[in-house]
Amino acid sequence: MTRKDIQELLDEAEKRFAEEAKLIRLESGEVIFVGDTHGDLEATEEIIRKYLKPENKLVFLGDYVDRGPASLENINLLLQQKLKHPDGLFLLMGNHEGRAVMSFQPSDFWEGLDARLRQRYGEVLSRLPLAASTPNGVFAVHGALPDISVLEDVERIELGSAEWHQMIWGDWQDRDGEDLGIDPCTGRPQFGRDWFERIMSRLGKNVLIRSHQLDAPSVMYDRRCLTIFTSSAYTGYVPERTIALVDLRTEVKNVDDMRIEIV
């Protein structure tokens, strides 16, 4: 892509995201949830080739750039596909898309851009939606659950707010507890089982699908919290690129009511 192509893509994507809700409501068909891809262009291409069909919805859980070898190509392909299939593919915000709000390491994608493009990617990716919801019991975010009362509150979450940090940067600890404070090493907010159960009950949801946290057990809290990754950039940590498939026609009570596939 030329620089002009990229600028046009970003302009179009910005308009599209400005029209999209912060909470994506999925109504019918089968939903394919995709974890962090982190510059793994091949993973994204494979998922689009295999699963992007009129009867499916694809929900990417954030972290499209940094770590992997093809961040620029990965985010550009995802933005192009979003414009081509605005109601078939959804891109939630990960912390690596929130660079305009909060800096972090590694950020090789961002550091490799010149100042003008860094600003434009920052502006456009700041507009990504924050969460997805299904009518059969599933809620999906990049990190953890925000301290909100009802689903509609997602629309009012401001970039950089406490709720934004919980949702985009939050980790789960596999033990009892509510707000477990900030991890002094990573700076990430930590939450326990009581926080999970309380907020899920408020939102009327059974299962949370998220990504973001490499050291999390893949399944927690009575099999109601699923953590998936879909990037070869994590080789050595997680062995496989994993996705979760949810049929919206039947209730999902726990992780056993959905399908897990390797791509």
Q: What mask, x for binding Mn ion by CB under 5 A, covers residues 85 to 124?
A: ---------xx-----------------------------
212, 224, 241, 243: which one contacts Mn ion (CB under 5 A)?
212
Q: Measured from the CB of residue 62, what is the shortest distance to Mn ion in angstroms?
A: 6
Q: Measured from the CB of residue 82, what is the shortest distance to Mn ion in angstroms?
A: 19
Positions 34 through 63 that interact with Mn ion (CB under 5 A): 63
Out of 96, 142, 165, 212, pick the active-site residue.
96
Query: Which helix (H) or strand (E) element contains residue 72?
Result: helix 71-84
- Counting contacts by CB under 5 A, is residue 193 touching Mn ion? no
- Give the residue with the Cβ less far from Mn ion, 95 or 230: 95
- Give the residue with the Cβ less far from Mn ion, 209 or 248: 209
CA 104/CA 114 separation, integer angstroms: 18
CB atoms within 10 A of CB 173: 18
Task: Please confirm, yes or no, whether 96 is among the known catalytic residues.
Answer: yes
Positions 133 through 172 that interact with Mn ion (CB under 5 A): none
Instruction: Give me the helices (H) in 85-192, please.
Output: 108-111, 115-125, 162-169
In this structure, the chain runs to a length of 263
- Give the residue with the Cβ less far from Mn ion, 63 or 163: 63
Amino acid at 78: L
User: Cα(first)–Cα(last) distance of the chain, in Å?
Assistant: 27
- Give the residue with the Cβ less far from Mn ion, 142 or 205: 142
Task: Provide the token pair at 252.
Answer: 């999902």
Q: Measured from the CB of residue 239, what is the shortest distance to Mn ion in angstroms?
A: 19
Positions 223 through 252 that interact with Mn ion (CB under 5 A): none
> Closest Cα to residue 31, out of 132, 147, 146?
132
CA 20/CA 226 separation, integer angstroms: 26
- 110 by DSSP, 3-state: which? helix
- Give the residue with the Cβ less far from Mn ion, 52 or 102: 102
> Closest Cα to residue 258, out of 242, 240, 245, 241?
245
Q: Measured from the CB of residue 136, what is the shortest distance to Mn ion in angstroms?
A: 26
- Counting contacts by CB under 5 A, is residue 74 touching Mn ion? no
Size of residue set near Mn ion by CB under 5 A = 4
Q: Please give the DSSP secondary-structure letter assigned to residue 157.
A: P
Q: Residues in the site for Mn ion, rule: CB under 5 A?
A: 63, 94-95, 212
Catalytic positions are 96
